A and B are shown apart, each in its own frame.
Chain A
Amino acid sequence: MLKINNLHVKLEDEDKQILKGVNLEVEAGKVHAIMGPNGSGKSTLSYVLSGRGGYEVTEGEAHLGDVDLLDIEPEERAAAGLFLAFQYPVEIPGVGNMTFLRTAVNAQRKARGEEEMSAAEFLKVVRAKAKTLKIDAEMLKRPVNVGFSGGEKKRNEILQMAMLEPKMCILDETDSGLDVDAMKLVAEGVNALRDEGRGFLIITHYQRLLDHIKPDYVHIMADGRIIKTGGPELALEIEKNGYADILAEVA
């Protein structure tokens, strides 16, 4: 599904190489986790895949199915089925959460040549999905993420994911700033979306999120490369011993 091949990325404004040859394949139906120390390039990978400005791809490629991701606009990547749950969801004063969700859902449908969702149908679907994430009507009415707590923001990300039904979901440190209960709620939301046709890439510092969202594979990223790949046990090892051993082993 998602195929990243020898991806090299530098900052646009600075001569600083962040990714130094990332290779990764996420199959449909699988959950991959990427762990790694600060500054290893995990978040950069998620931004580059989703098309945020400020980065320059110097080598390599990334495909979602047969779509060349790096060649197209962020909105086209979204329409192709890519979704990034932000580490820091953005507050947009003056734009209602419902308006935002409906505009996004229908923009993607339109881009794919599908019929747009009617207001009534949309309302019905969004209410049902919001309910399972414990998002109340008040939160849906408020401006996007404005005045939301950390947990509310992350639940709102998962609601967007549930509404947009992407093929490939990237979660960038979705566990950061969450207490145990909030993390459980988010994990349940993610698990409800696990599906044979959908791939997940979960970026996290800590093992604890992976207790709730069980990965099929765990990758360790350091200095812009994936240096080790294993099963869920790799995450447990890191929780116990930190990154030092693995980094030493590779070096």
Chain B
Amino acid sequence: MSAVAETLSVTDERLAGLTLPAGGWSDAARKDAFSRLQSMGLPNRRDEYWKFTRPDTLTQALPVPAAPFVTDEVPLFDAIDRLKIVFVDGVFDAEASDDLSLEGIQIDRLAAADADIHWARDVYGVLEANGQKPVARSLAALNTAFAVDGVLIHVTGAVIKPINMIYLHKSETSDVMLHHVIKVDAGASLTVLETGPAAARLNNVMEVDIADGAAFHHARAQGRDHERRAATHMFARLGAESTFKSFTLTANGVMTRNECIIELTGDNANATVGGACVGDGDFHHDDTVFITHDAVNCESRQVFKKVLRNGATGVFQGKILVKAGAQKTDGYQISQSLLLDGDSQFLAKPELEIYADDVICSHGSTTGAIDETALFYLQSRGVPKAVATDLLTLSFLTEAVEEIEDETLRAEINTRMASWLERRGG
């Protein structure tokens, strides 16, 4: 089969079972996304952008069944005062969710936002469409066309607590598309938390429009279900002097592809995206980042750390594109893996493309084992080898966690990572 024919057949099979929602303010955006999707086609294994990650289980008509992970541990961020919005296998759970009204913020659900003209119309599918160039992200277009629920958040002032989307996974065969739109007005700020596995297969899109002087913070913990699969896209557009910070913690999951597409469109803006992941065995984790500098004096940071063992695979594709005129850009990118045995692998593709001449950009990628000298030092002080290994592993991951601005969130994530490592040892 030719590559084109294969793309067509994959796309046709996927679309066969889906119905395009019609009517309402999102109608035009969905139709546009649908035609984008048809012209791009879903990714297949010959796609250059999917060279290190096989897309088939993410694109096929039906999800591979995935058993929900049962744990007695306290949910992440449980001790933090936050507004909870709960989805169970992609279905909104009003009972478990908090009241969606909060000072400085307007929250609607995509499924319930039925006004003819909704503010989200200016963002929904717009940032996603923008992010399709120069590389196609057709799973995101699929999402824009077909997602029936998600959260629409308009921030007008200072919000007193984080908004936490909690994604529970109960059905073995759930196949979920959620689409969130977030608009942060000038000078306003918001923290969004996303926690949980969501489904056997999740396709999640978040579009974030950050106005001048606004701030958006995002921390995500993808659930520990071993068999879950996910393709997520975060599209962010940053105005002048605005801040964007996103961090993702991943443990387990047979297939995760997290794409983050950031456009710095206003001067003096600042974007950070980071992640820490721990993979054991049948685990494939792909971080794909594309940051476009299109304004003066902006800073971007990418900090990704992966700990891999027993044949786990980690992928990092990170690109910084500095457009002509984006002078005084400061771009930084680091991706590192710690391989705890010889069976695991880390594949990294760092890229810089620079059209301005007064720019600082650096990138680095490393793969290594546990530092034997440090290990011996700890052991010589009486720390058992397994504990010493955990301590060094944790310290490796912590460097990415440090990118989170909020100290409470940082501490929560570090504590959780430590407890995971400890449990594994015990």
- On whether the two chains bind one another, the answer is yes
Residues of chain A having any CB pair with chain B under 8 Å:
50-53, 73-75, 77-79, 83-84, 86, 89-95, 99-100, 103-105, 107-108, 111, 143, 160, 164
Q: When A75-B384, A84-B380, A104-B382 are in contact, do A53 and B372 touch as well, CB less than 8 Å?
A: yes
Complex contacts, B387 vs chain A, CB 8 Å: 103, 107
Complex contacts, A73 vs chain B, CB 8 Å: 379, 384-385
Nearest B residue to A77, CB-CB: B380
Complex contacts, B396 vs chain A, CB 8 Å: 94
- Give the contacting residue for A50; candidates B373, B380, B385, B394; CB below 8 A: B380
- Those 4 A-B pairs whose CB atoms lie nearest each other, nearest first: A94-B395, A78-B382, A108-B382, A74-B379
- Give the contacting residue for A92; candidates B372, B374, B399; CB below 8 A: B374
| Residues in B364-388 with C-beta less than 8 Å from chain A | 372-374, 376-385, 387-388
Q: Do residues A74 and B376 form an inter-chain contact, with CB atoms below 8 A?
A: yes
CA distance A91 to B378 in the complex (A): 11
* Size of B's binding interface in residues, CB under 8 A: 22
- Give the contacting residue for A79; candidates B382, B388, B399; CB below 8 A: B382
Q: Do residues B374 and A104 form an inter-chain contact, with CB atoms below 8 A?
A: no
Q: Do residues B394 and A94 form an inter-chain contact, with CB atoms below 8 A?
A: yes
Complex contacts, B373 vs chain A, CB 8 Å: 90
If A92-B395, A107-B382 are given as contacts, then 17 extra A-B residue pairs at C-beta distance below 8 Å, sorted by A number, are A51-B376, A51-B380, A73-B379, A75-B381, A78-B379, A79-B382, A89-B377, A94-B394, A95-B395, A103-B383, A103-B387, A105-B382, A108-B381, A111-B382, A111-B384, A143-B395, A164-B382
Nearest A residue to B401, CB-CB: A94
Nearest A residue to B394, CB-CB: A94
A201: min CB distance to chain B, Å? 15
B390: min CB distance to chain A, Å? 10
Q: Do residues B379 and A103 form an inter-chain contact, with CB atoms below 8 A?
A: no
Q: Do residues A95 and B391 form an inter-chain contact, with CB atoms below 8 A?
A: yes
B392 close to A (CB within 8 Å) = yes
Q: Do residues B392 and A75 form an inter-chain contact, with CB atoms below 8 A?
A: no
Q: When A73-B385, A103-B387, A107-B387 are in contact, do A95 and B392 touch as well, CB less than 8 Å?
A: yes
Nearest B residue to A50, CB-CB: B380
Q: Do residues A107 and B383 form an inter-chain contact, with CB atoms below 8 A?
A: yes
Q: Do residues B381 and A164 form an inter-chain contact, with CB atoms below 8 A?
A: yes
Q: Do residues A103 and B377 form an inter-chain contact, with CB atoms below 8 A?
A: no
Secondary structure at the B interface, as helix, strand, loop or mixed, is helix
Among A77, A92, A164, the most chain B Cβ lie within 10 Å of the Cβ of A92
19 A–B contact pairs at CB < 8 A? A51-B379, A51-B380, A53-B376, A73-B379, A74-B376, A75-B385, A78-B379, A78-B381, A90-B374, A92-B392, A94-B394, A95-B394, A100-B391, A104-B382, A107-B384, A108-B381, A111-B382, A143-B395, A164-B381
B398 close to A (CB within 8 Å) = yes
CA distance A215 to B364 in the complex (A): 50
A61: min CB distance to chain B, Å? 20
- Give the contacting residue for A52; candidates B376, B395, B399; CB below 8 A: B376
Complex contacts, A84 vs chain B, CB 8 Å: 380
Complex contacts, B398 vs chain A, CB 8 Å: 94
Q: When A103-B387, A107-B384, A107-B387 are in contact, do A90 and B377 touch as well, CB less than 8 Å?
A: yes
Complex contacts, A108 vs chain B, CB 8 Å: 381-382
| Residues in B388-412 with C-beta less than 8 Å from chain A | 388, 391-392, 394-396, 398-399
Q: Do residues A74 and B391 form an inter-chain contact, with CB atoms below 8 A?
A: no
| Residues in B330-386 with C-beta less than 8 Å from chain A | 372-374, 376-385
Nearest A residue to B386, CB-CB: A75
Complex contacts, A53 vs chain B, CB 8 Å: 372, 376
Q: Do residues B382 and A93 form an inter-chain contact, with CB atoms below 8 A?
A: no
A169: min CB distance to chain B, Å? 12
Nearest B residue to A95, CB-CB: B395
Nearest B residue to A91, CB-CB: B374
Q: Do residues A74 and B380 form an inter-chain contact, with CB atoms below 8 A?
A: yes
CA distance A99 to B385 in the complex (A): 16
CA distance A167 to B263 in the complex (A): 61
A175: min CB distance to chain B, Å? 20
Among B380, B383, B384, B387, the most chain A Cβ lie within 10 Å of the Cβ of B380
Complex contacts, A164 vs chain B, CB 8 Å: 381-382
Complex contacts, B388 vs chain A, CB 8 Å: 75
Complex contacts, B394 vs chain A, CB 8 Å: 94-95
CA distance A86 to B392 in the complex (A): 19
Q: When A75-B384, A107-B387 are in contact, do A100 and B378 touch as well, CB less than 8 Å?
A: yes
CA distance A108 to B378 in the complex (A): 12
Complex contacts, B377 vs chain A, CB 8 Å: 86, 89-90, 92
CA distance A103 to B394 in the complex (A): 14
* Residues 108-145 of chain B, each 1 if its beta carbon lies under 8 Å from chain A, else 0: 00000000000000000000000000000000000000
CA distance A79 to B383 in the complex (A): 9
- Give the contacting residue for B381; candidates A93, A99, A104, A143; CB below 8 A: A104
Nearest B residue to A101, CB-CB: B381
B87: min CB distance to chain A, Å? 35
Complex contacts, B372 vs chain A, CB 8 Å: 53
B133: min CB distance to chain A, Å? 39
Q: Do residues A93 and B384 form an inter-chain contact, with CB atoms below 8 A?
A: no
Complex contacts, A91 vs chain B, CB 8 Å: 374
B16: min CB distance to chain A, Å? 50
B115: min CB distance to chain A, Å? 50
